[in-house]
Structure 1
Amino acid sequence: MKGIVCERVEELRYVELPEPTAPGPDEVVVRIRRIGICGTDLHAYRGRQPFFTYPRVLGHELAGTVETMGSAVSGLAVGDTVSIVPYLHCGTCIACRRGRTNCCVSLQVLGVHVDGGMRERLVVPASHVLRAGGLTLDQAAMLEPLSIGAHAVRRSGLAAGDVALVIGAGPIGLGVMAFAKHRGATVIAMDVKDERLAYCRRWAQADFALNAAEPEAKAQLEAMSGGDLPTVVFDATGNARSMEQAFGLAAHGGTLVLVGLVKSDLAFHDPEFHKRELTLLASRNATLEDFALVREAVASGRIDVDGYITHRAPFESMIERFDEWLRPESQVIKAVVTL
């Protein structure tokens, strides 16, 4: 079968991969039909993904149809449209025992730690295959990136009436904004690109948009927050400088959630951190609870997947388009590969 492998930094190649073996009793063979291109894929391609080794078949934002399944699988049928939960957890470590499967001690993420779904067929544990329940293939493929934003919001404890600052208007930041709005928060979008900020107002219904490059950005932020700094700050940039500066943008007694991942150390000024009694959280991946929330939000029309996907390419020309999608002038929000 056809596949695409990232051989080394900045090298993608079409390859012939072996057909999957017959599924085990609790496994499903999924015919891949949609592959979302994620920041993780871009960072891996550029050599900036900290959990990545080469060569690797990319792809973890996946939707397809059930082709065959094992004898013990229930709740699925051949031909079902499905979404894949790409976080393969052990089920026995301390995190898994506490329901925190998203940060399993021995977590293996498809397309990162193990080969992913940038191929025609993939064998997946049935526990990680979700019926789309009437969603389109596009919608099913977008459950994973949107679930990352939903998880960050749930983890933050954000409540109605809070002011949420979301730094970074990429696909993950947009998901954070959308689910923060659903919680009843006032949402401030921050980025350095005006066209992205306009998109945040349009798609995520952000209440305010702030260009971080403005000389008086912090004063403007306080004005947007009613004279105070935001109670919850999410940084979804994956940029070390932004993540460090975010410590100074949360209110006294507030919370900072680092959603983006960067391959470096971070530093903060401890007296300022203690003075504000900030809560610092990392947010990694998502859980089945988050997927269920997002599936319902998409099915109800509260999340517009058609507006979220801005670029497309067929599988056969994906490599040729990949470098183009990396260029800022392409204005990619979310690119999807179709099979």
Structure 2
Amino acid sequence: MKAIVCEQIEQLKYTEVEEPIVGKGEALVRIQRIGICGTDLHAFKGNQPFFSYPRVLGHELAGYVEELGDGVTDVAIGDLVSVVPYMHCGKCIACRNGKTNCCTDMKVLGVHIDGGMVERISLPVSHLIKAVGLTLDQAAMLEPLSIGAHAVRRSELHAGETALVIGSGPIGLGVMKMAKQLGANVIAMDINEERLAFCKEWAGVDYTVNALQLPKEKIAELTNGEFPTVVFDATGNARSMTDAFSLIAHGGKLVYVGLVKADIAFHDPDFHKRELTLMGSRNATMEDFDTVRSALMTGSIDIERYITHRVSFEEMVDHFESWLKPESKVIKAMVSL
């Protein structure tokens, strides 16, 4: 069986691996779609925390069930499924409190353990979602969009509030889309004017701000000097994440959706003066997957335009590094098997 392995920094290769064994409570899934995530790109460049080499990448997955292990009744052979790639323990304090997304012993496919850049993979049925009524592309995109849904839900954003989303990559776009679905007023901020135009067209944001052109003054103008009550930073950039503190309303919240391999510092008196709330948002839960699945079923999320680049499994290694270049204009790359 073929797999794609990240052997070390900036080195991907095809290799033969053993066929997976289907255990009790598991199902064998023939992978048909693999979305390329920032996590994969950062791992390739050596910038991904919690990562070790060699590793089979890939956690945005969809495919068809081919074989069932003992005791499996929740899915049937032939079912199209989406994968929840966060393998939680179910026993720790986070899991017991329903926060399986930040399990103390989290094993994410393609990060801590080998992922789905393979022809077939055996997975616990508890981590498969039947994608009835969805396309293969939609099923594969449940996971990245659920990260945005989780961040919005965690922020407790309400209709009518103003939210600023910094970063218009695939995760930031998902945050914008889910915030608009809630009825919030959304400002998108980025350094790329083409991306900002896409935020308006695809996510339906209300305003855009270029981060290189006096962003604080512009955001103050758009909010009558009050600033957004919720700011989401989806950049994974330490400078952006630090500067975001100055863009929040008194009593507001800053949600870090992006992850950076660095320390972040802030000025404590100003933090206290405005009684700010700083939050991390990691992964997603089944509730978030259900939210996105419902939105996809209604057709309110345009997956075809979200996916900008497509290649076959056999071509992926040749194209992968090019997706890191700004001139490639990748929003979401999709691999087909």
TM-score for the superposition, normalised by structure 1: 0.99
Distance 2:289 2:166 in 1: 23
SS of residue in 1 equivalent to 2:266: coil
For 1:241-252, what aligned pairs fall within 5 Å after superposition? 241-252=239-250
Q: 1:25 offset after TM fit, Å?
A: 2.1
| Cα distance in structure 1, aligned partners of 2:181 and 2:135 | 22
**Residue 226 of structure 2 is aligned with which of 225, 228, 238?**
228
**2:180 is the counterpart of 1:197:** no
C-alpha displacement at 1:149, in angstroms?
0.2
Inter-partner Cα distance in structure 2 for 1:38 and 1:25: 30
CA displacement, residues 157-212 of structure 1 (integer Å, 9 cap, x when unaligned): 00011100000000000000000001111000000000000000000000001000
Equivalent residue, structure 1, for 2:299: 301
* Secondary structure class of the residue paired with 2:314: helix
**Residues 74 and 125, structure 2, Cα contact 8 Å, conserved in 1:** no
CA contact under 8 A between 2:62 and 2:83: conserved in structure 1? yes
Distance in 2 between the 1:130 and 1:160 partners?
29
Alignment of 1:160-309 (within 5 A): 160-214=159-213, 216-309=214-307
After TM superposition, which residue ranges in structure 1, 4 or more long, deviate above 3 angstroms?
Answer: none
| Alignment correspondent of 1:33 | 32
CA shift, 1:228, in A, is 1.4
Residue 227 of structure 1: how far off its partner (Å)? 2.9
Q: CA–CA distance in 1 between the matches of 2:203 and 2:96?
A: 35
Counterparts of 2:24 and 2:3 in 1: how far apart (Å)? 25
1:19 paired with 2:19, answer yes
Alpha-carbon distance between aligned partners in 2 of 1:30 and 1:226, rounded to the nearest angstrom: 52
Flag structure 2 segments of 5+ consecutive residues without an equivalent: none
Counterparts of 1:54 and 1:212 in 2: how far apart (Å)?
Answer: 35
DSSP 3-state at the match of 1:63: strand
Aligned mates of 2:307, 2:163 — CA distance in 1: 24
Q: Distance in 2 between matches of 1:300 and 1:27?
A: 30
Describe the superposition over 1:117-164 as per-residue Cα deviations: whole angstroms up to 9, x where unpaired.
000000100000110011000000000000000000000000011100
Find the aligned partners of 1:17 and 1:136 in 2 and give their Cα distance: 28
| 1:64-123 CA distance string (max 9 Å, x none) | 000101121112111111000000000000000000000000000000000000000001
Q: Distance in 2 between matches of 1:25 and 1:124?
A: 10
Checking the alignment, whether the CA contact within 8 Å between 2:228 and 2:248 is kept in structure 1 is yes
The amino acid of 1:277's aligned partner reads E
> 2:334 aligns to what?
336
Q: Which residue of 2 aligns with 1:153?
A: 152
**Secondary structure of 1:12's partner?**
strand
Gaps of 5+ in 1: none
1:314 matched to 2:294? The reply is no
- CA root-mean-square deviation: 0.6
State the alpha-carbon separation in 2 of the partners of residues 57 and 226 from structure 1: 49
Identity of aligned residues (%): 65
CA contact (8 A) 2:60 2:143 kept: yes
- 1:61: Cα distance to partner? 0.2
Tell me, in whole angstroms, the C-alpha distance in 1 between the residues paired with 2:225 and 2:297: 38
How many positions carry a matched residue from both structures? 337
SS of the residue 1:59 aligns to:
coil
Instruction: With the length of structure 2 as denominator, give the TM-score of the two structures.
Output: 0.99
Partners of 1:54 and 1:201 in 2: CA distance: 39
SS at match of 1:142: helix
Q: Distance in 2 between matches of 1:307 and 1:336?
A: 12
Q: Which amino acid aligns with 1:313?
A: V
Once the two structures are TM-superposed, the CA of residue 6 in structure 1 deviates from its matched residue by: 0.1
Show the counterpart of 1:79: 78
